[in-house]
Amino acid sequence: MDPQKVAQALVDAFNAGDLDTVASYLSDDFKFSGPVSGPIGAAEWLGMSRVFQVAFPDINYNLRIVGVEGNVVKTTSQVSGTHTGQLDLSALGVGVIPPTGKSFSNPEELGEAIVEGGKVTSIHIPSGEGSGVGGILAQLGIEPPAR
Residue pLDDT, tens place only, 95-146? 899 999 999 999 999 999 999 999 999 999 987 788 888 889 999 998 765 6
| Domains contained in the chain, number | 1
**CATH code, domain with 9:** 3.10.450.50
Predicted confidence band of residue 94 (pLDDT cuts 50, 70, 90): confident
Q: Is residue 133 part of a domain?
A: no
Q: Is residue 94 part of a domain?
A: no
User: Using an 8 Å Cβ cutoff, are 75 and 99 in contact?
Assistant: no
pLDDT reported for residue 17: 87
Q: Is residue 116 part of a domain?
A: yes
pLDDT reported for residue 144: 65
Q: Is residue 113 part of a domain?
A: yes
Q: Is residue 134 part of a domain?
A: no
Q: What distance in Å separates the CA atoms of residue 88 and residue 69, rounded to the nearest whole number? A: 37
What angle is formed at CA 35 by the lines to CA 125 and CA 112, rounded to 5 degrees?
10
Q: Is residue 87 part of a domain?
A: no
Q: What distance in Å separates the CA atoms of residue 13 and residue 99, rounded to the nearest whole number? A: 26
Specify the pTM. Answer: 0.86
- Which tens digits make up the pLDDT trace of 30-64? 999 987 777 889 999 999 999 999 999 999 988 88
pLDDT reported for residue 147: 53
Could you list the residue range(s) of the whole structural domain that residue 44 is in?
3-80+107-128
